[in-house]
Amino acid sequence: MTRTAPLPPSLEVTGLAYAYPDGHQALFGVDLTVGRGERVALLGPNGAGKTTLVLHLNGILAAGAGSVTVAGLPVGKRHMAEIRRRVGIVFQDPDDQLFMPTVR
Ligand SMILES: Nc1ncnc2c1ncn2[C@@H]1O[C@H](COP(=O)(O)OP(=O)(O)O)[C@@H](O)[C@H]1O
Ligand SMILES: [Mg+2]
């Protein structure tokens, strides 16, 4: 019988901390695992840190401490192209998504 290594989870966040440049500590000690095929709703009041967390999942923000891996790939410069192929983010304000005046 052949055995293959188990596939890594879709998302693994460990001990994530992030402070904005003004010193505001938005995340501290965040752990989250999302398994393959799992659907997760992230709930919390305004200012809880949902957007800050999500911006770490494809490297828009870089962790102050801790780590984020997507399908086993550490989010960082080395794997950025592949990470961004896998993790798309729709911004809350559609004006942030439209950065050119025409589709072309
Ligand atoms: N650019 C920023 N500079 C400083 N603090 C920020 C910035 N963006 C968000 N914050 C602060 O970080 C915390 C988390 O914000 P955010 O991740 O936007 O929360 P949510 O998406 O859950 O509403 C809040 O206290 C917010 O005021
Ligand atoms: Mg938000």
List per-residue pLDDT tens for the chain, 104 residues long: 677 888 999 999 999 999 999 999 999 999 999 999 999 999 999 999 999 999 999 999 999 999 999 999 999 999 999 999 999 998 888 788 777 888 78
The CB of 26 under 6 Å from ligand 1? The reply is yes
6 falls within a domain: no
pLDDT at 1: 64
| Domain residue limits at 21 | 11-97
104 falls within a domain: no
φ/ψ region of 60 (left if φ > 0, alpha if ψ in -120 to 50, else beta) reads: alpha
The single-letter code of the amino acid at 39 is R
Specify the residue with its C-alpha closest to ligand 1, atom 17.
49
Count, in order, helices (H) and strands (E) of the chain. Answer: 3, 4
40 falls within a domain: yes
57 falls within a domain: yes
Distance of CA 46 to the CA centre of its chain: 18
Instruction: Quote the radius of gyration of the chain (alpha carbons, Å).
Output: 16
pLDDT at 50: 97
63 falls within a domain: yes
Choose among 64, 68, 69: nearest CA to 17.
64
The CB of 54 under 6 Å from ligand 1? The reply is no
